[in-house]
Each structure stands twice: as C-alpha cells, then as structure tokens.
A and B are shown apart, each in its own frame.
Chain A
Amino acid sequence: MFHWLEKNPFFFAVGVFLVIAYAGIVTILPDFMESARPLKGTKPYTVLQIAGRQVYIQNGCNTCHSQLIRPFKSETDRYGKYSLSGEYAYDRPFLWGSRRIGPDLHRVGNYRTTDWHENHMLNPAAVVPGSVMPKYPFLFKKNIDLDTAYAEAETVKKVFDVPYDKPGMPKLGTFAQAKKAVFADAGKIVAGMKNQDVKDAYKNGNIKEIVALIAYMNGLK
C-alpha cells in the first residue's frame, strides 16, 4: 500500500492531510469546545449594554484599549483577575484589541464608576493628567440607536441561540418590552450622572450614547 502511495503523489498528499487533520482534531477540539463555553456566571449583554458596545465599536475604542488581561502578576495587580476564554462567549465580535495605548478595560466595571466615566469622557485630561485620549463630548449629544441594538440581540438569540429569556438570564422579549427595560436600566445610570442635558433628554424619552456606553463599561467585570 505504501509503495502505491509513493507512486501517487496526489493520494499521498490526501493521506498526509488526513493523518495530520485527525491528530489536530483530537488534540485541539475537545479543549477548545470546553474553554469556549460560557462560564457559569457569564450572561449575555442587555440591550442597553449592546447599544453601548456598538458605540464602543463605532468610536474604535478597541484601537487603543484591549480587553484581555494576561496571567502575569504585573497585569492582574493593575487590572484584576486574568481573563478566561469563556467570558467572551457572548462577544460577537470579541474586542480583545491588539495594543494598549490606553489601559485594559476588561474589568473596568470593578474600579471605575458612572460619575468617573462621565468626567473622563468629557475631558480625559481633566481626570488623568497627561492622558492622550481624545475628548468625546458628542456622546452627550447623540441618541442611541435602540433599533439596531435590539436587532442585534434578537439576531444572536435566533441564530446563535444566545440564552435570552432563559431562567436567570437577561430578558429580551418583544421590542416594546425591551424598550421598557432599556429605559429602566438607563434610568439607573442617569441617576448617577450630573450632566443636566443628559438628564433632561432622559426625561423626554431620549437616551444619549454616553449612558449606553457607561452601562456597557460598568458591565465589564
């Protein structure tokens, strides 16, 4: 049989491929399947958080901020516990980033708060002297895109079977229900903010992008 393979390079190549592919499957897949499952406490994003995540992506935050804490003491001292792959199970796409011009944000919800983000987004250098981060005052002016955020949640629920509406998981429901939940969530964030325009807008039924972004950041734990 080996003589025959040696004389038929095409089938020889197929044979080599099969052997290596099999070795790859048995060594890589089981570990990958296990580590890609969501951790016990990992929950999908609420609709408001998704809206904030979209703002995060829109403004390219991941260009300068990573969301991946490596298991080194120097990193866990500063950012908290190292990241596990299961924590990204509901990230589509993941926002690991590839460089740190700013600090890592994977657990920023543990050590920054609503009012800090508010001050910081308006003028980063006022809070962190020497910061090179640009100002984001327009986040206080633009409204969130609730339709797209709901559409994303609905899509991942249907296509990827993300466990919305399951026991112990965030509720999604119909658009009207989701909208109500978003306003309730946003209300909690707005209560911790000082900006009068944002508060007024909330009273008039508008949620500014900053509110969603803060909701997303506070949820990163």
Chain B
Amino acid sequence: MNWLNDNVNLLTLIGAAAIIILTVGVAGKYIKQMKTDKATGELTGDNWDGIGEYSNELPYGWSLAYVGTIVWGLWYFFMGYPLATFSQIGQYNDEVKDYTARFESKWANPDKETLMGMGEGVFLVQCAPCHGITGDGMGGKAADLTTWGSEEHIVNIVLKGSKGQGYALGEMPAGLLDKASATAVAAYIVQDLAKSGKSKHPELVAQGKALWATCGACHGMDGKGMGGSAPALVDYGKAQFVVDVLNRGKLGTIGQMPKFNDGRLTNIQKRAVGTYVDSLSSEE
C-alpha cells in the first residue's frame, strides 16, 4: 500500500469517503422523511392550480445570507473592486508602460550584436516591404540600401536633389553641382567630413573641400547641419543618419518614405535599424 503514503492521495480518499457517507446519510434522511412526514402548518390564501403555499417564517440563515450578499455586493462595487478604476485602455496603458520600462532597462546599453539582431528584426517587419528583405530596394522600388553611404549615392543625391525631410532650410534642389564636382564633394564627405571610410578618389578630397562652400551654405561649413536646420552630413553613412530619416521621412526621386515617429519604434530600435542598415552597405 505504497500509494497511501502520499498525502494528496490520502486526503482525496478521505474526501471521497466523506462525500459518500454524507450523500447516503442525507439522502436516506430525506427519503425517510418523504415516506413518513405529513404536511402540517398554516397555508397562505394563494392557490396556483391546486398548489398551495405555507405561511412560514423566513429561515434565519437564509435571511442572513441574503443581507450578507447585498452588503458584500456594495463593498465589491465601491471598495473591493471599484468599477471606475478599470478600463480596457487603462489596462493597455499599464501593460505598455511595464513593457517599455522592462525593455529600456534590459537594452539600456546594447552591444553591437544586440543592435544588429534587433535591427534586422525591425527591418524585416517595417522596412522590408519597400526596401526588400536584402535591402536592395527590389529593383528600384525604393532606395538601394546596400549602396547607401557610398560616394555614388552622394553623387546621385547631389544630381537629383533630396526632398521631404522637412528641415528648416528647405529642400535640396537637383543639380547644385555637375557630376565631376559632385564626385569631388562626395570624396570629401566620405573621407574627411563623416570619416565613414576611405574614399575611392583620395586625390579629389582637396578639390571637394574647396567646393564645399556650396553645400556648407545649408549643411554648415563644419557639416553639422547648422544646429538641426539641415541634415548633419558628419553623420552620413552612420546609424544616426538613418535615425534622422526614420524620424523625418523622405520624398526621394523613387517615392515617398513615411515617417516612423508615431511611437511604433523606440529610440533603441531606431538606433538598431540604423546599425543594421549601415552594416548592409559596409559589407560590400
């Protein structure tokens, strides 16, 4: 009888035995009562199709339970679990607040690997529908992010202009420089200004620097964007620049990119996307 050593089994058996004994006892009592009892007492005047009603006092226990339930109900509505304190939206807000707090503390100082993983996840959901899973812009349906940050890309922007970011200094018109000058400026930006890599045309850097005045009128002579009035080109080719585009949207020559500043992405996630996008191009 090994299984009787288990407390749960023992309790269950005792409970089962109690239920059987009580059932038999109570049922026996009432069956006996039905056989021997005679109905006695004073009837009320009501008579429904031959069925009468005894004029009995309310059982004391019943009245107590009735009043008790009402008292408990009032307590429940107004104190125990007040209706006014619950709402579906409130519950949602709490959930989001908790989640955001946990998210921010968990990823307060993400390492590069974390940013890449997070960035890829967000990219696949939010960016891939236009830029493609590999970020290649799906044959010209959106900007090709695998070449983003390169000198060719800068030349392209100088020739075609850049719109829709809503900077205070307005939009960048197309054709401020011809192709040769644009190539030189691109070399200067990549190598000296943003320091995002080695230029393919190091001999043009000095010439690009001389031509920079045209660009510096808006982007600032130091390339820092005159305190947020124009894109900061010192960040070009880096994660921070992508974060700017995510916040501001863009109206390129291909099509319009919506803003992602409606709370769908946290700051950490934006940085992660920036890191990931940056990695797409630097792998080349």
**Contact of B257 with A71 in the complex, beta carbons under 8 Å:** no
Given known contacts A71-B88, A71-B92, A73-B95, A128 and B129 CB-to-CB distance under 8 angstroms: yes
Residue-wise interface mask of A (106-141) relative to B, using a CB-CB cutoff of 8 A (1 in contact, 0 not)? 000011111110010000001111000000000000
Give the residues from 134 to 172 in chain B that come closer than 8 angstroms, CB to CB, to chain A. 138, 141
For B263, list chain A residues within 8 Å (CB). 76, 80-81
Cβ of A166 < 8 Å from any Cβ of B?
Answer: no
Q: Which residues of A contact B88 (CB under 8 A)?
A: 71
Q: Say yes or no: A114 contacts B255, CB within 8 Å.
A: yes
Inter-chain contact A111/B126, CB cutoff 8 Å:
yes
Cβ distance B123 to chain A, nearest Cβ, rounded Å: 14
Judge whether B129 and A116 touch: CB under 8 Å: yes
In whole angstroms, what is the CA distance A18 to B62 when docked?
29
Residues of chain B lying within 8 A (CB to CB) of residue A110: 258, 262
State which of A71, A81, A82, A115 has its C-beta within 8 Å of the C-beta of B262. A81
A77 interface contact, C-beta 8 A: yes
Chain A residues near B133: list those with CB within 8 A.
129
Is A113's CB under 8 angstroms from B258's CB?
yes
Is B99 on the interface with A (CB-CB < 8 A)?
A: yes
Q: Is the CB of A80 within 8 A of B255?
A: no
Chain A 45-83: CB-based contact to B (< 8 A → 1; otherwise 0): 000000000000000000000000001110011101110
Q: Is the CB of A114 within 8 A of B256?
A: yes
Whether A73 contacts B262 in the complex (CB less than 8 A), given A111-B126, A126-B138, A128-B129, comes out as no
- Mark B residues whose CB is within 8 Å of A: 46, 88-89, 91-92, 95-96, 99, 125-126, 129-130, 133, 138, 141, 254-258, 260, 262-264
State the 5 A-B residue pairs at the shortest beta-carbon distance, nearest first. Answer: A115-B255, A71-B92, A113-B256, A111-B258, A119-B141
